Amino acid sequence: MLALAGCEVGPDFSTPNSQVADKWLESGDHRVKHPGRDDTTWWKALNDPILDALIATAYRQNLTLQTAGVHVLEARAQLGAAVGELYPQQQAASGSLQRQRSPFLAGIPSVQPWFTSASIGLSTSWEIDLWGKFRRAIQSADANLLASIASYDDVLVSLIADVASTYVTIRTTEEQLRITRQNIVLQEESLKIAHSRFVNGETSQRDEEQAQSELSDTEAQLPQLETSLQQSKNALAILLGIPPQRLGTALGTASAIPTAPLEVAIGIPADLLRRRPDIRQAEQQAATQSALIGVDQAELYPAFSFTGQFGLTSSNVGQAHLSDVFNWGNRVISFGPAVQWNILNYGQITNKVRAQDAVFQQAILSYQNTVLRAQKEVEDALIAYLNAQLVTASLTTAVAAAQRSAELALIQYREGQTDYTTVLTAQQTLLSQEDQLATAQGSIPQGLIALYRAFGGGWTLRLGHELISPEIREAMARRTNWGGLLQPGAEQPPPSVQKYSIGLPEW
């Protein structure tokens, strides 16, 4: 049996094949550079110290990220439990003191039918892992741990991108507010001119009413923008792990939209397989499920185990005494092999194996779909980032022309060379195009953020850091005996860990 203990049933996992493009669709654009660069702190390309500080705060305090870190600790404890199944699965120390009545003793003269018996002992049972059931369970738990770490990395990637995106949204909304207030000042001046000309009998009251209508419509945009701004700030506060509150100190006084570089360095599509945490997570989830096939398949074969019992027993029947329980002569010893084989299981085990295999196939398809979706997200973000630059360039020219047109229209109206409709149209065009320009200017950093999110950039920020905070470690240590698992680094395997190995993990 010991010689057979090197066997295991079930499939050995290997990374599923996936369709990966040779190059990006926009790789020929001169703004796309090769190869990719280190994206550990990609947000620093936006050159905004306030954003850097916000991301550092979110990394320390975000509750969703801390939850993912504790989940890694949970998976590490589950792996420890799975490893424990390789050793004697049942061990028990027992003892008893019983008062009993025997009908056999009741028929013997001068013998009391009541007697007391005592026993103490140890028992154990060890199922030998002939078919790899326990080793496959360890393999599954090991892959599940790696999947939980990849999940943490994925949460970190999303957190960094969400903070950066929300910050850019805040700055873009602030710019839209500035533009709106600036146009209100311009329209107030136009209203004064229209009112003056009406009072002097140079125009009809219609011009004044049109000017007032335009001004009121623009003023109505302010509360909407302020609502959007505060909602974005509330969202940022939650990302920072604090209740919604005024973020004046954290956001500073600057209100400029972060400027993104006009060029971006990217690698090849195949790089996503190692950079995107969600792809690694899907791979490890498939590995977890693959090993569970072997766990259930092992139930089809006989289970061999060694059982043993050692104890001491005595009673007060006849000349015996309870104190004799500690005499060596009263020892009870039993040991030997045992076998259990669920022969007539009516197809239950076979169908459990089939069900596990079906779930495994779903995991493979999910992995392949994750790879395809990742490439799609990169392509979407890349084209949006590149075209946002073109839109911004065109709108910059359009805004300059609209500003000059509005100035000329107002001058001509003041001098009586045109009616107010020309001024109204010019100012409405100016406000619309300035608003579009602010949105387009924000779209460039938003496109860069989406691009690095699609690349899976930023998760390497955790390397060299702990996944859970000292405060959480301290609270959990007070509540439960975690042994060495709460020691810094204990929950993470080293970078050189061998994946998918059968048996004890290499760490």
Q: Report residue 38 as tokens.
A: 């280190």
Q: In the chain, which residues fall in CATH 2.20.200.10?
A: 88-128+303-340
The pLDDT tens digits for 118-132 are 889 898 888 888 898
CB-count burial class (<10 Å; 0-12, 13-18, 19+) for 308 = middle
What's the average model confidence in pLDDT over 382-391? Answer: 94
Q: Say if residue 373's pLDDT is above 90.
A: yes
Segments of the chain assigned to CATH 1.20.1600.10? 21-86+129-302+341-483
Q: What is the mean pLDDT of residues 1-28?
A: 79
pLDDT at 491 > cutoff 80: no
Top CATH class, 21-86+129-302+341-483: mainly alpha
> C-alpha angle with apex 339: 336 to 345, nearest 5 degrees?
160
Is the per-residue pLDDT at 394 higher than 70?
yes
pLDDT digits (tens, 9 = 90+) for 219-244: 999 999 999 999 999 999 999 999 88
Q: Is the pLDDT of residue 150 over 80?
A: yes
pTM reported for the whole predicted model: 0.87
Domain covering 88-128+303-340 in this structure, CATH number: 2.20.200.10
Is the model more confident about 32 or about 287? 287
Which position has the token pair 């028929």?
A: 107
Q: Output the pLDDT for position 106.
A: 57
Summarised one tens digit per residue, pLDDT across range 440-488 is: 999 999 999 999 999 998 888 888 888 988 899 999 999 998 888 888 7
Determine the average pLDDT of the residues in 84-106.
80
**pLDDT tens digits for 272-286?**
888 899 999 999 999
DSSP letter for 310, please.
E
DSSP secondary structure letters along 401-428: HHHHHHHHHHHHHHTTSS-HHHHHHHHH
Instruction: Using a pLDDT cut of 70, give the percent of the chain over it.
Output: 92
Mean pLDDT of the chain: 87
Model confidence at 498: pLDDT above 50: no
